[in-house]
């Protein structure tokens, strides 16, 4: 096999095995930063050795063994250093070494548990939101620092600093490499889901730059969500989030035209929606509903949002959409997690049920909301409702205000075009 093909194969293997490798090593060394370093050492060893020896029959196992040997070497050095210091240090180092000797079986015991531990650790609330996102994409998504930086339109050095600070914080705060239990598990699971959804949303509608979407981030978030659903199969909200992302992802190809310009939901060609993803999303929603029913509790916020997305997915046309149910679901969502953004979405649904005047009345209540002061979708929605009421000049003002607030180039162009069209009526 040509060297270039071998290198591509190694990179593909690394992308598949990286998270499992780091997770298994982190359980041994109890330090995510060190685990990542050991895994990268194994990757370098593969790049150096495989072009000559060929691709191993079980490349993942080869990488694990190489990383394991480096871990054992480090622990042996630590034991020698311990012997040169005090007795306590020596005994601790030897205990660590004995644990390393048992690594052959330990690393293969339950990769699923290790991955779950890694997800909960990388998304620990002790980290900043930016740090959690960067570390999760780095360790679990397998993205390079440069790829994450490009996705979020920030300098590579900024992402590198976030990752370093996150790993340092986990080490300094002695965050245990474990899956929490009881009430803490629910709190931590919320953090995990938040991180995955933040990544997905940044891909679905980029906050800045010249691209309307960044599908790579959507794919990474969905992949992480599917992994989490497999690792935590009895968590309703995990399936709710997966359902939401599956259904939203089904629209990606229909959300832009051939020039990359945005196409809004009501104008999309539903024949271009991915019906395999819709079926997967509806199945995940059914699973979330079943679990919630078995536990005699209502749906969580992600499952409610998925139920709203399902209303659109099930409707063959805009006119066939069950807007009344969507409005009711938004009302339930607002009771569960009160938010002016949810109220804005509810206003859109109410406008579809009761007319634009009813929707506009709801948006008028949100004008002085501090949280929406710089939120471009508030004037954008108001502009659309004013257009439907044939108050075109007022609509143009709202569209221009929205264009001034958004940092996404494609969205800005769309809003300016709608302002010009309104002024011409």
136 found inside a domain:
no
Cα→Cα distances 372→63, 344, 367, 375, Å: 49, 10, 8, 5
pLDDT of residue 93: 45
With respect to residue 253, please indicate whether it lies within any of the assigned structural domains. no
Establish how many alpha carbons lie within 13 A of residue 368's alpha carbon, considering only the half-sphere containing its beta carbon.
1
Q: What is the pLDDT of residue 108?
A: 44
What backbone phi and psi angles, to 5 degrees, belong to 128? Answer: -65, 160
- Residue from 172, 170, 151, 149 nearest 160 by CA: 149
Assess contact for 254 and 263: CB atoms under 8 A: yes
- Asked if residue 237 belongs to a domain, the reply is no
Paired residues of 381 in beta bridges: none
Residue 130 inside a domain? The answer is no
Query: pTM above the 0.95 mark?
Result: no
Residue 5 domain-assigned (yes or no): yes
Using the predicted structure, report yes or no on whether residue 359 has a pLDDT greater than 80: yes
The answer to whether residues 311 and 322 touch, using CB atoms and an 8 Å cutoff, is yes
What HEC string does the chain produce?
CCHHHHHHHHHHHHHHHHHHHHHHHHHHHCCHHHHHHHHHHHHHHHHHHHHHHCCCCCHHHHHHHHHHHHHHHHHHHHHHHHHHCCHHHHHHHHHHHHHHHCHHHHHHHCHHHHHHHHHHHHCCCCCCHHHHHHHHHHHCCCCCHHHHHHHHCCCHHHHHHHHHHHHHHHHHCCCCCCCCCHHHHHHHHHHHHHHHHHHHHHHHCCCEECCCCCHHHHHHHHHHHHHHHHHCCCCHHHHHHHHHHHHHHCCHHHCECCCCCECCHHHCCHHHCCHHHHHHHHHHHHHHHHHHHHCCCCCCHHHHHHHHHHHHHHCCCCCCCCHHHHHHHHHHHHHHCCCHHHHHHHHHHHHHHHCHHHHHHHHHCCCCCHHHCCCCHHHHHHHHHHHHCCCHHHHHHHHHHHHHHCEEHHHHHHHHHHHHHHHCC
Name the packing angle between helices 182-204 and 215-231 (round to 10°): 160
Whether the predicted pLDDT of 136 surpasses 60: yes
Residues in contact with 333: Cβ distance below 8 Å, sequence separation at least 6, in sequence order: 301, 304, 305, 308, 342
In a domain, 65, yes or no: yes
d(CA 201, CA 214): 9
Question: Could you give the C-alpha distances from 221 to 94, 141, 205, 304, 327, in angstroms and in order?
Answer: 41, 8, 13, 19, 27
Q: Which of 370, 360, 372, 298 has its CA nearest to residue 333?
A: 298
Residue 62: which domain range? 1-109
Q: Which of 177, 192, 138 is nearest to 161 (CA)?
A: 138
At residue 1 the predicted structure's pLDDT band, cuts being 50, 70 and 90, is low
Separation CA 198–CA 190 (nearest Å): 12
Give me 235's structure tokens.
Answer: 């968590």
399-420 pLDDT tens trace? 999 999 998 999 999 999 999 9
Instruction: Give pLDDT tens digits for 30-79.
Output: 889 899 999 999 989 988 988 888 888 888 889 988 988 888 887 777 76
Report whether pLDDT(342) > 50. yes
Q: Is the pLDDT of residue 98 over 50?
A: no
Per cent of the chain over pLDDT 90 is 56
pLDDT at residue 90 in the model: 45
Summarised one tens digit per residue, pLDDT across range 295-319 is 888 999 999 999 999 999 999 999 9
How many distinct structural domains can be found in the chain?
1
Q: Is residue 143 part of a domain?
A: no
Longest Cα separation, the chain = 86
Confidence band (pLDDT; 50, 70, 90) for 347?
very high
Q: For 376, list phi and psi in degrees, rounded to 5.
A: -65, -25
Asked whether residue 104 is assigned to any structural domain, the reply reads: yes
Joined together, the tokens standing for residue 48 give 């150096």
Q: What does the alpha-carbon distance between residue 27 and residue 36 come to, in Å, rounded to a whole number?
A: 12
For residue 80, pLDDT over 90 is answered with no
Instruction: Count how many residues are written for the chain.
Output: 425
Condensed to tens digits (0 to 9), the pLDDT of residues 363-394 reads 999 999 999 999 999 999 999 999 999 999 99
**Which one is predicted more confidently, 181 or 124?**
124
- Separation of alpha carbons 317 and 313, rounded Å: 9
Tokens of 224: 């992480």
């Amino acid at each position: 096999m040509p060297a270039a093909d071998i290198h591509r194969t190694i990179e593909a293997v690394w992308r598949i095995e990286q998270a499992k490798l780091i997770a298994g090593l982190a359980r041994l060394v109890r330090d995510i930063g060190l685990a990542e370093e050991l895994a990268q050492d194994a990757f370098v060893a593969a790049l150096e050795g495989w072009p000559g020896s060929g691709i191993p029959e079980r490349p993942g196992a080869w990488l694990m063994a190489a990383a394991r040997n480096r871990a054992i070497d480090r622990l042996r050095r630590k034991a020698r250093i311990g012997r040169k210091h005090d007795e306590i240090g020596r005994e601790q180092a030897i205990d660590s070494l004995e644990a390393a000797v048992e690594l052959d079986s330990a690393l293969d015991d339950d990769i699923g548990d290790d991955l779950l531990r890694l997800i909960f650790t990388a998304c620990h609330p002790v980290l900043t939101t930016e740090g959690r996102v960067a570390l999760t994409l780095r360790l679990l998504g397998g993205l390079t620092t440069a790829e994450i930086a490009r996705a979020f339109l920030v300098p590579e050095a900024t992402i590198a600093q976030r990752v370093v600070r996150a790993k340092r914080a986990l080490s300094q705060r002695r965050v245990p490499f474990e899956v929490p239990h009881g009430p803490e598990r629910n709190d931590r699971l919320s953090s995990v889901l938040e991180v995955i959804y933040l990544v997905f949303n940044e891909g679905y509608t980029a906050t800045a730059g010249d691209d309307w979407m960044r599908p790579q981030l959507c794919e990474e978030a969905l992949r992480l969500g599917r992994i989490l659903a497999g690792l935590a199969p009895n968590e309703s909200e995990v399936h709710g989030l997966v359902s939401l992302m599956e259904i939203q992802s089904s629209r990606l190809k229909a959300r832009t035209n051939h020039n990359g310009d945005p196409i809004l939901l009501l104008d999309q060609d539903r024949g271009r929606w991915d019906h395999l993803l819709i079926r997967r999303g509806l199945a995940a929603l059914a699973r979330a509903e079943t679990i919630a029913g078995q536990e005699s509790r209502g749906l969580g916020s992600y499952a409610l949002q998925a139920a709203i997305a399902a209303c659109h997915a099930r409707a063959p046309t805009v006119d066939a959409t069950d807007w009344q149910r969507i409005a009711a679901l938004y009302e339930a969502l607002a009771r569960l997690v009160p938010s002016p953004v949810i109220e804005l979405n509810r206003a859109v649904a109410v406008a579809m049920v009761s007319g634009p005047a009813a929707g506009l009345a709801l948006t008028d209540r949100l004008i002085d909301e501090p949280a929406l002061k710089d939120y471009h979708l508030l004037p954008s929605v108001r502009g659309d409702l004013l257009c439907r009421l044939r108050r075109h000049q007022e609509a143009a003002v709202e569209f221009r205000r929205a264009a001034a607030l958004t940092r996404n180039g494609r969205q800005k162009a769309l809003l300016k075009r709608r302002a010009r069209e309104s002024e011409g009526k």
